[in-house]
Amino acid sequence: MYTNPVILRRILPSDNQQLAAIIRAALVEFGANHQGTVYYDESTDHLSDLFEIQKSVYFVALIDSQVVGGGGLFPTSGLPHDTCELVKMYLLPEFRGKGIGSMLLEQCLSNAKAIGYKKVYLESMPELAGALAIYEKFGFQYLQGPLGNTGHFGCERWMLKSLD
């Protein structure tokens, strides 16, 4: 159990290797390391470069200077101009269920609104049922199919939240 506060900050290049390991390990853990998911995205290995794009942001959660997870927003190609995608939101197993994911999600949603987005879209998989439950709690609604051009044909759950 951790006793020090959770610090959320923007991604740095020095976080890339740890975050890629967290993301891929979580997908393996849940049997969700399919083709067409972030597991195989080349960008997963250099997230800090990806989030230099305008109107994108990635937050890293730290406890005692240890990277324990992260999550971000990205202006995915093909989405409406007022919609961003919630992306690469993962935590180390020992830090799940402690409110850190909710902190990251709240940070992302408040930043989406501040950037000027009206809606947040996400893609996930049935194997990540715990994450889907959190997204539902935060008001994300299921869609019948994907939006935008994410390239993640391995994702079978699509959700959208209005920031009104």
pLDDT band at 152 (very low <50, low <70, confident <90, very high): confident
- Domains of the chain with CATH codes: 7-162 (3.40.630.30)
Average pLDDT of 61-71? Answer: 96
Single pTM value for the model: 0.93
pLDDT digits (tens, 9 = 90+) for 6-54: 999 999 999 999 999 999 999 999 999 988 888 988 899 999 999 999 9
Query: Which whole number is the average pLDDT over 65-81?
Result: 96
Band of pLDDT at residue 1, cut at 50, 70 and 90:
low
| 58 — pLDDT class (breaks 50, 70, 90) | very high
Distance between CA atoms of residues 27 and 9, nearest Å: 23
pLDDT given at position 164? 84
Q: pLDDT per residue over 92-149, tens digit each?
A: 999 999 999 999 999 999 999 999 999 999 999 999 999 999 999 999 999 999 998 8
Residue 53: exposure state from Cβ atoms within 10 A (0-12, 13-18, ≥19)? exposed
* Rounded-to-integer distance, Cα 22 and Cα 137, Å: 24
Check whether 2 has a pLDDT greater than 80.
no
What pLDDT is recorded for position 153?
A: 79
Radius of gyration from C-alpha coordinates of the chain: 15
Q: Which of 101, 92, 99, 47 is nearest to 74 (CA)?
A: 47
- Beta-strand relationship, 83-91 and 119-124: parallel
CA–CA dist 63, 56 (Å, integer): 24
Q: How confident is the model at residue 90 (pLDDT cuts 50, 70, 90)?
A: very high
Q: Which residues of 100-115 are buried (b: 16+ CB within 10 A; e: fewer)?
A: bbebbbebbbebbeee
Q: What is the pLDDT of residue 63?
A: 95
